[in-house]
Structure 1
Amino acid sequence: MNRYDETERTFAALPPAHGRGFAATWWGRAWLKALEDAALDAQQVKTGRRLARAGAVGAVAVRPGRITAVVRDRDGTARRADVLLEELSDGQWDRFLRMAVEQAGHVAALLDREMPPHLVEDAATAGVELLPGLGELEPTCDCGAWDHCGHTAALCYQVARLLDQDPFVLLLLRGRGERALLDALQSRSTSSAEAIAEGPAEPAGVDAGEAYAAGDALPPLPAPPGLPAGPGLPPSLDTEVPPAPGVDPDALEFLAARTAATAHRLLAGALRAGAAEEEPTVAQDAVRLAAGAPARALADRLAEGSGRGPDELASAVRAWRYGGAAGLSVLEEEWTVEGEALARARAVLAAAWDDDERPVLRGHANRWTVAGAPSQLRLGRDGRWWPYRQESGRWVPVGGGDQDPATALAATETARGEGAC
């Protein structure tokens, strides 16, 4: 039984995780990526994964800024492991709440215990990073290690399983409990609705004579406007006037909305980093647009325009949703792994499982297929492993890329259990 209050949640120890991954959701995998990218000793990460799989992590306490658990070594020695993550400031929480209220779908997703990518992206646009970045998971353990040890790594792997079940675990770690957060969202939603009902306030006027007299004393230019809270809404083209021949109003409205969203995201990225992201190709852009869930007729046009059939476009959209341009490249590109890259890939595969759990993998190019099973791992050029399952004679993506091939392969079992694809 899990103990719950507004300042701390304690989760009972989870059973061993033999033969399965630690993160089925994309946000759980993002949590583990922060650990795996920052740990200086890959062997300690592997040890932590093995301990977590064996059920060596006790009850996990989650409170603002810290997670804690007792982790037992194979010889039974108990170690207290803590991992710290900086809490969000009051200003950051204010921006997050304002952003969430403006997008009703964000509140609905949180109530469904989900954290869709667009929620995290919109939060980042507002200057609020929910998921930990490189080096943000700060470890401390009474074993004396100064970096991530097997005990803190095991704790992080266990927390990934908790995050799969409930993203409010991450929000509590960032500083706000579930009840307080939902109450604040409800209060802001009510205030926003009342403000809309009352209508805009009358603007303060300026006496015309005073304005004319001060005409030769021009005020300084105002500061440049900040980033808008969200993308603008395109005007509706649903009018009584019929469209000109060859003009599809639904397609134009959809394209305008997606363009506004992309422009807002690019502007946010430029303001944060001073650089724009790489321009997608025409084929990639068609998939990106199709990922916005257009009407069936528009999806068919995008499939035709991109040179794909409907089924091929559906697979491409899934790959895009799992990993953007990188995920799409893994779907469509087959490349030869050789030399040092091949040796490194084989070493990673050998270390991912214990000897009694390792599947039989048959490699071809950058693809490793599980012998006797409709499951496959594909190695991306960025070193991540992407899970695929064979459905109706075609290989389709079933998850995002992961540094750990065992975690990636587990997604193919999850997909089978849920009847995906």
Structure 2
Amino acid sequence: MNEYTDTETERTFAALPPAQGRGFAQTWWGRAWLKALEDTALDSVQVKAGRRLARAGAVGAVSVRPGRITAVVQDRDGAAHRADVLLAELSDEQWDRFLDMAVERAGHVAALLDRDMPPHLVEDAAAAGIDLLPGMGELEPECDCGAWDHCGHTAALCHQVARLLDQDPFVLLLMRGRAERPLLDALQERSATPGTPTAEPTGVDAAEAYAVGDILPPLPAPAGLPERPGVPPSLDTEAPPAPGIDAAALEFLAARTAAEAHRLLADALRAEAAPETELTMAQDAVRLAAGDPEAAVAVRLADGSGRDREQLSRAVRAWRLGGAAALAVCEEEWAVEGETLARARAALDSAWEEDERPTLRATANRWTVVGAPSQLRLGRDGRWWPYRKEQGRWTPAGGAAQDPATALASVEASGTEEAV
């Protein structure tokens, strides 16, 4: 979860990328949150409009405070609106009952610490008169667009918060009035109070000890990797270069070699990258050109790779988005057949709601949106790459996604940013 502030009264989460797939909530409590939105909103069209805005990445940073969530949401026309959604806080007396219930059933807190919200936790809380999840009419909207009911902006905010709830149910408890750390401190204090009834007269339940114990600090970052590549030796000496030696090109090649070695070491330490296949000369020229060489070196790389300057520029853009795989999608067209075609069609059919699905025209591994400067390209690894038409040519518009709707949404989001 990309969070960049955390206090006892507020948590702020950086804007999330466009949503993958057609569903915003993967957990049962995230779906319950969206059900409360659908039951509260009087206009289902606004709920769908909010889902489209959230999917396109139009929701900015989300602030979560007791009783309120806030974000700036951008319309498709570029207008920005502040959207708020209010949820009633639990009273002190309700929190006391929640704490009593949680201490008696330490497994509930252990589940929360594991970022889970089991149904029996919500059921036990409801039996104690505490409604954790919102119900019909409880998500109260406020938006500076002037709407008196849920509009597309507040609906988009709710869809984005569903993704946050999926990752951390403590977000819901903060909306209800208590932040994670003070809540855990209160549980620890109650557990340590003399006379507190326990299920077993001797010993300490392992789940309870884990739930109220001190949280270990995060592991330190792996050592051994310098922050930036080393600087190769300078060739600016009094001795002139030997005939046929281009000193500027040689210095650039040494610098790019150091940068590539740094990248490979970082990949090895993170265990994130599989060994790459050997690059062709044309591919390696693009890799070198991605290092922003001086003009004379760039011209040589373009000539050596068999591309003109404009073609090399598009190739470099693709390389920076995904290396050799992205470059292949940019420059190669291949026939999609058999099982691969069936999987591609199934992914396209399931990526959008039926009333939101764009009209696509297929050519080989490329699907172009009819009436829009947007295109999806299928890579040989099954990922979808977004493209946008600029000055009559298709240009890479973003990184790959497993879901075609996510890839296409990144084209729309980048187009909105440029318009603004």
* TM score, norm. by length of structure 2: 0.51
Aligned partner letter, 1:140:
D
The 8 Å contact of residues 51 and 154 in structure 1, kept in 2 or not, is answered as: no
Aligned letter for 1:371?
V
One-letter code of the match for 1:381? R
Q: Which residue of 1 aligns with 2:316?
A: 317
Matched, 1:295 2:294: yes
CA distance in 2, matches of 1:314, 1:399: 15
SS at match of 1:357: coil
If you compute each CA radius of gyration, which structure gives the higher value, 1 or 2?
2
Please state how far the C-alpha of 1:313 moved relative to its aligned partner: 0.4
Residue in 2 aligned with 1:380?
A: 379
Listed one character per residue, the Cα deviations across residues 356-402 of structure 1 (whole Å, up to 9, x for unaligned) are 22111011111101112221110111221111122233211111111
- In the alignment, does 2:116 pair up with 1:140? yes
| Equivalent in 232, 235, 239 of residue 234 of structure 1 | 232
Q: Deviations over 1:53-75 (max 9, x none)?
A: 17899x96679xxxx99xxxxxx
User: Residues 79-125 of structure 1, C-alpha deviation per residue, up to 9 Å, x if partnerless?
Assistant: xxxxxxxxxxxxxxxxxxxxxxxxxxxxxxxxxxxxxxxxxxxxxxx
Q: Which residue of 1 aligns with 2:243?
A: 245
Tell me if the contact between 2:386 and 2:410 (Cα under 8 Å) persists in the aligned partners.
Answer: yes
Cα gap change, 1:139/1:330 in structure 2, threshold over 3 Å: closer, same or farther?
Answer: farther
Matched residue SS, 1:140: coil
2:389, 2:313 → 1: CA distance? 14
Unaligned 5+ segments in structure 1 are: 15-21, 70-77, 79-137, 146-151, 161-224
* Structure 1 contact 52–155 (Cα < 8 Å) conserved: no
CA–CA separation in structure 2 for the residues paired with 1:236 and 1:315: 31
- How many angstroms apart in 2 are the aligned matches of 1:259 and 1:140? 46
Greater mean deviation of Cα atoms: 387-396 or 288-297: 387-396
Q: How does 1:28-47 map to 2 (within 5 A)?
A: 28=17
Give the secondary-structure state (helix, strand or coil) at the position aligned to 2:372.
Answer: coil
Q: Return the alpha-carbon distance in structure 2 between the equivalents of residues 52 and 144 of structure 1.
A: 31
1:3–1:226 Cα change, 3 Å: closer
| Cα RMSD, aligned residues only | 4.8
Equivalents in 2 of 1:333, 1:292: separation in Å? Answer: 23
CA distance in 2, matches of 1:143, 1:229: 45
Q: How does 1:349-368 map to 2 (within 5 A)?
A: 349-368=348-367
For the structure 1 residues 321 and 40, does the alpha-carbon distance in structure 2 shift closer, same or farther, using more than 3 Å as the test? farther
Instruction: Give the conservation status (yes or no) of the 8 Å contact 2:20–2:405.
Output: no
Deviation at 1:309, TM superposition (A): 0.6
Aligned residue in 2 for 1:217: none
CA deviation string 1:277-299 (max 9, x = no partner): 43322221111111111111111
Q: Does 1:281 align with 2:294?
A: no
CA–CA separation in structure 1 for the residues paired with 2:411 and 2:53: 22
Amino acid at match of 2:51: R
Kept in 1: contact 2:386–2:396 (CA 8 A): yes
What letter matches 1:248 in structure 2? D
Structure 2 CA distance for partners of 1:244 and 1:419, relative to 1, 3 Å: farther
The equivalent of 1:97 in structure 2 is none
The Cα offsets for residues 180-231 of structure 1, whole Å up to 9 and x where unpaired, read as xxxxxxxxxxxxxxxxxxxxxxxxxxxxxxxxxxxxxxxxxxxxx9555543
How many Å apart are 1:332 and its aligned residue?
Answer: 1.2
After superposing the two structures, state which structure 1 stretch, 360-369 or 261-270, moved more.
261-270
Superposition deviation, residue 323 in structure 1: 1.0
- C-alpha distance in 1 between matches for 2:390 and 2:265: 39
Distance in 1 (alpha carbons) for counterparts of 2:394 and 2:250: 33
Cα distance between partner residues in 1 of 2:4 and 2:27: 34
Aligned mates of 1:377, 1:311 — CA distance in 2: 21
Matching residue of 2:398: 399
1:264 equivalenced with 2:240 (yes/no): no
1:4-23 mapped onto 2 (5 Å cutoff):
6=7, 9-11=10-12
Conserved 8 A contact 2:51-2:159 = no
**Which aligned pairs between 1:109-258 and structure 2 lie closer than 5 A?**
140-141=116-117, 155=161, 157=163, 226-227=224-225, 230-258=228-256
User: Matches of 2:318 and 2:9 in 1, distance apart?
Assistant: 37
Summarize the Cα distance change of 1:406–1:158 in structure 2 as closer, same or farther, 3 Å threshold: farther
Cα distance 1:331–1:384, how it changes in 2: closer, same or farther (>3 A)? same
> Structure 2: 5+ residue runs without aligned partners?
36-46, 70-86, 88-113, 122-157, 167-222
d(CA) in 2 for partners of 1:3, 1:226: 27
Q: Retained in 2: the 8 A contact 1:3–1:9? A: no
Whether the 8 Å contact between 1:52 and 1:158 is mirrored in structure 2 is: no
AA paired with 1:240? E
Distance in 1 between residues matched to 2:315 and 2:120, nearest whole Å: 47
Deviations 1:260-319 (A, max 9, x none): 121233344446659744332222111111111111111111111111110000000000
Which amino acid in 2 is paired with 1:239?
T
Counterpart CA distance in 1 for 2:304 and 2:165 is 44
Helix, strand or coil at the partner of 1:362:
strand
- Number of the residue aligned with 2:413: 414
Q: Kindly, what percent of the aligned residue pairs are identical?
A: 58
Identify the residue that residue 221 of structure 1 maps to in structure 2.
Answer: none
Find the residue that maps to 2:116 and give its secondary structure.
strand
Could you tell me whether the CA contact under 8 Å between 1:287 and 1:317 is conserved in 2? yes
Work out the number of aligned pairs and report it: 264
SS of match in other structure, 1:390: strand
Q: Distance in 1 between matches of 2:244 and 2:401?
A: 45
1:3 and 1:298 map into 2 onto residues whose CA distance is 41
Residue of structure 2 in register with 1:122 after alignment: none
Does the CA-based 8 Å contact 2:20-2:403 persist in structure 1? no
Q: Work out whether residues 20 and 406 of structure 2, in 8 Å CA contact, stay in contact via their aligned partners in 1.
A: no
Q: 2 CA distance for matches of 1:336 and 1:248?
A: 43
